[in-house]
Amino acid sequence: MKQANLCPCTTGENMTNRLTRQHQRVGKNIGTQVISGLPTFCPEMWLEDRHGVELRNHTTGKVFVDKLFLKNICEGPCSEQEVCASSRMVSRQVPDNYKRPKEKVLQQAKEFLDGFFRNSKKFGSEEHISRLLEVHKDIEDTSRYHLTYDELVYGCGMAWRNAPRCVARVQWSTLKVFDARHVQTAQEMFHSIIEHINYATNQGRLRSVITVFPPRTDGQSDFRVWNSQLISYAGYRNPDGTIKGDPSNVQFTELCLSLGWQIEQTTRFDILPLVLQAKGLPPEIFVIPDDVVLQIPLAHPSFPWFQELGLRWYALPAVANMLFDCGGIQFPAAPFNGWYMGTEIGSRDLCDPQRYDISETVASKMELDTSSHTTLWKDTVLLEVNKAVLYSYQMCGVTTWDHHTASESFMQFYENEMKTRGGCPADWIWLVPPMSSSISPLFHQEMALYFLKPSFEYQTAAWSNTPKKLAVKQIAKRTPKFRAVMIAVRLCSYLYHSRWLKRPKVVLLFASQSGKAENFATKAFVKFKSLFQAKLYCMADYDINQLQDQHATIAIVSTFGDGEAPSNGDEFKKSLVKIKEENSKIRFVNKSSCFAVLGLGSTAYPNFCAFGKFVDNIFQELGGTRLLALNCADELNNQEKAFQTWLLDVTNELCKQYLIRVDNSNFVNKGSSFDQLNTVSARFSVIEGGKEDVLQVLSDVHHKEVSLARVSGKSIIGDSGSSEGHATIFLQLNTFNSENLKYKPGDHLAVFPRNNQDIIQRFTLRLKNCPATRSLIQLQVQNPNQKWQNWKKIAPCTFETLLSRFVDLTGSPSQDTLRLLASSAIDQTEKAQLNILAEDSASYKQWVSLGYANIVDVLEDFSSVRVDAAALISILPVLQPRFYSISSSAAIVPTEIHLTASVVRYRTLDGKGRVFKGLCTSYLEEIRRGDFVACYFKSNPSFHLPLYPSKPMIWIAAGSGIAPFRGFWQQRCFEKGVPFHSTFITKVWGKFWKPNIQHQASNRYGSIYLFYGCKEKALQPFSSEMDAMIHHKIISRTFFAFSREKGKSKCYVQDLLWKDGPRVSAQILNEGAYVYVCGRLAMAAQVEKTIIKIICQYGNINQDEAEMVFKNLKAEGRYKTDVFGAS
């Protein structure tokens, strides 16, 4: 590690005495050599500095030892110099277009990541090592890498914390980071900066903010803000050589004028436009709207004439021209702000002779004697001007602080840094305030100046080499007419943008498994965007840190499986839990910020709307204000109507909250092509010459890496032919060792079913305007602006593929669908019946419950309906994959996945209605050996084997719920080195199969008790395998329950559990057993009740205590469920 370049002349003590004392302490008598030259003694100092440098406070006598500089990897301004350069305004800066060498990037990336993981208490963890390897590979390949948002936030905070010239570093941990690394144009940069200024200004209650634009890549295509500050005043050179405005900005003002900036009448306080450069392209100029910049007119508490001077200053000090250097990555555009210390304005900006220089004017008004310095008139002026600044900011409610408070605050920060970090880099020359210096505690504190990463660095001004004449010439070539048009267009744009920025920010978030939540969220968004600054995001694509920037957060979420989040909401859920565990609060823009949640689910499942309830509760726990109580819309009780009612209520409450007038009748009746489609608003567009890639289309539609697996074995147990028969399918799928299909026992395989040809033919017979079967087509709809756009839910494919792979023809049609059918019915009786079902919730619910009618059945029942194919298909749900527990272990069959599924088939209306067939199990029943199945792997970590194999396990399954346990016992065979004999594989292949493995045998495995139920013993799958598992002591004991065995009373798994209650209770309460349950919802609910009953009975506790024990069991991850419905 390179040593820091400590500069003793940056302290408040005499340099000679400082060095002499240092060398005397280590037995060095250097005498007059101290005076002869600094470089002679810097090497000598390292003898002591390797153990830290002592820094004394001459007021308190306290001595600090700074060792933090030993971690320094930056050269200081005095490196290899014969003169100390630290007092220069810019003592060190990054060269123009500097590109850091790869080895430097690697070094700094590792230093940064080590610090990041050390800060999060994950240093040396698997996550830490994995991240280092990932970053190392990226740097080796591309010479750069991408910082995660968490890393970026940490780096920005540390850069502020390490800034040696900043006196306000005590606030470093509260820095708000806006990640703008996605922007591509100067216009997008401008929008981000306006958002930055609005958020930071906060009506005068300033907030510390940084906006980070894309990093430097090739050293040529930089994103740059040409302004030194986001907000600053122009300076105009008069013919007589005097300056009007801010003299420090004269050159930049001339540059802005040459780039086309126009101002009718100049004043001393004109806000400069922003000059922004994206990707190294020519700069673009943007005028900041007046209502964005908060300015404070300056007045004095005792001198009424002071206000007549017409002085003013802006509220927000935002540095824009420094380079943010983090982890080896350079960000040339990263404007940041804090708030003003009064002397920065009063002493420096207004009274410095090279700035506004108002000292003599104020002295004249005060009638001071300016004939001699001995009257101290300058000191008097300085004091009164600073009083005026502080008074004016306080009267306007704008955040600022005086130099005494700032100094004391820094001393607290300094002492704390010495304790926690062992040092604090500090530039004494900059930190000591420009007035009342010696009565500031900073004046008497010795400091060590060195430089740490991450950091903010000076860099060459972006406009320093601008070809000014060329720019002026290019502007001059424009005709007046074009310039007038350009100004008018920009003015309109700014006015619209300004008005748009005043609207409340409303973000719509959705998490959806089947597409219903996304559909509802899209409808809400179409209506919201006319009233609010509305944005629509899938939870998987949303940066959770942006929640604090919204006025309102509206979430529409479904619940998947056993109360889980949908796959595109899982990471969002984890992020919320992480924030909660860190005891942090989501801080909203203002006190009126709020949220509302609509949960979608089905009361057929025990954990109805569980994810919606979770989101609603945690939003409130994290500091949100509930706009409306949670609304749970039931799939079995007119979910569409519930959504429409909720949407109206949410809109009314939002408009009330933000004082927006809205005509509810217009709002409710306002239609769109997304709500009610007809023959005009949807169409098929034929794509000439294209080729279909079904696998790619499936991947695009479902946002997954879909793979193909070949059926290499198939077997069916039971009666699969009759409408009342019960059968179980066993499939052996060859994955060809695909990396996308690597799994663990307990994981799921998502299988994409296909509609069979019979139902497709029946469906197309009832449609009109069908395209050619094998033509490559794209479904299009009209947006609210009457423009055709591709329907995003369905990618281009043939009409045959569209119907077989993507349109759900087996579900009950929604009321929206029935409304469309009613509009297409010719027979008036049928039209009336369909309208009743479409509009009356009670009738619709009763109709659905009477018999399972899919869209094809409805079209056949209402034979006068002739509906346009494009219109109908565009409102039907997309066919979703079905999830099956994998019934094998990759340790035994590394290139295969085995599935076990019960065929779903029954007659509705108590055996008198239509025959209902499960879509996917019917598809699996029909496929043959050699066919290919489209699928993808889905991890299910909540149902994996326990980390500690010594713990006992209780496995409970019914029907095809045995599937994951087969994978479990295969895995245990592998671990204990037991040869595995598969009856399934024997039946298919006719041979004994023994894996070629190096076993990891161990006697330290807990007992396994298996409770399994099915209808009849003859239908029991894997019976020979279970016997073999007992023989090899993989499974300790099996219990079987048969509910339809002839001549015997019905028996279910919960009955067997109750009979074995004493042992079950002892294993759960005393031995730390893990309980696994897999099967249908009804079975899982009965098992849960039985377990609680056993705990209550044999644990000698009451019902409430037993339920609490059970809740803790689930919270500890020792009660695991994998439940399913019909498929």
Q: Catalytic site residues?
A: 166, 169, 339, 344
C-alpha torsion angle, residues 985, 991, 995, 1001 (rounded to 10):
90
d(CA 584, CA 579): 6
* CA gap 710, 935 in Å, rounded: 10
Closest listed residue to residue 822, CA positions, set 676, 665, 639: 676
Q: Where are the alpha helices (DSSP H) in 811-879?
A: 815-824, 828-839, 841-850, 855-861, 869-873
Residue 228 has a CB neighbour count (10 Å cut-off) of 16
Count the helix, strand and coil residues of the chain and give each as a percent rounded to the nearest 5. Answer: 40, 20, 40
Residue 305 and residue 302: Cα distance in Å, rounded?
9
**Which amino acid makes up residue 317?**
P
The Cα–Cα gap between 525 and 672 comes to: 11
Q: What are phi and psi of 401, to 5 degrees?
A: -150, 155
Q: Phi and psi for 481 in degrees, rounded to 5?
A: -65, -45
Inter-residue contact 914 to 856 (CB < 8 Å): no
Residue 419 burial (CB count, 10 A): 8
DSSP letter string over 1078-1115?
EEEHHHHHHHHHHHHHHHHHHTT--HHHHHHHHHHHHH
Q: Hey, what amino acid is at 243?
A: I
Torsion 17-21-22-24 (CA) sign: positive
The answer to whether the beta carbons of residues 718 and 728 sit under 8 Å apart is: yes
Closest CA to 405 of 451, 342, 450, 467: 342
How far is C-alpha 42 from the geometric centre of its chain's CA atoms? 49
Q: List, in order, residues 6 or more apart from 237 with CB less than 8 Å away.
A: 243, 250, 254
224-225 and 176-179 beta bridge pairing: unpaired
In DSSP terms, 272 is beta-bridged to: none
Report the alpha-carbon distance of residue 854 to residue 922 in Å, rounded.
16
CA atoms within 13 A on the CB side of 1089: 10
Calpha distance 576→599 (Å, rounded): 17
Neighbour count for residue 661 (Cβ, 10 Å): 6
Please say whether the beta carbons of 525 and 668 come within 8 A. Answer: no
Query: In 45-187, at which residue ranges do the beta strands (DSSP E only) sit?
Result: 53-56, 63-66, 93-94, 176-179
- Cα separation, 974 vs 998, whole angstroms: 8
Taking CB atoms within 8 Å and a gap of at least 24, the contacts of 21-29 are 22/48, 22/53, 22/54
**Which stretches does DSSP call E strand in 312-403?**
312-314, 318-319, 323-326, 329-331, 336-337
454 cis-preceded (ω within 30 degrees of 0):
yes
Residues forming a β-bridge with 336: 210, 319
Task: State the maximum Cα–Cα separation within the chain, in Å, rounded to a whole number.
Answer: 122
Assess contact for 560 and 511: CB atoms under 8 A: no
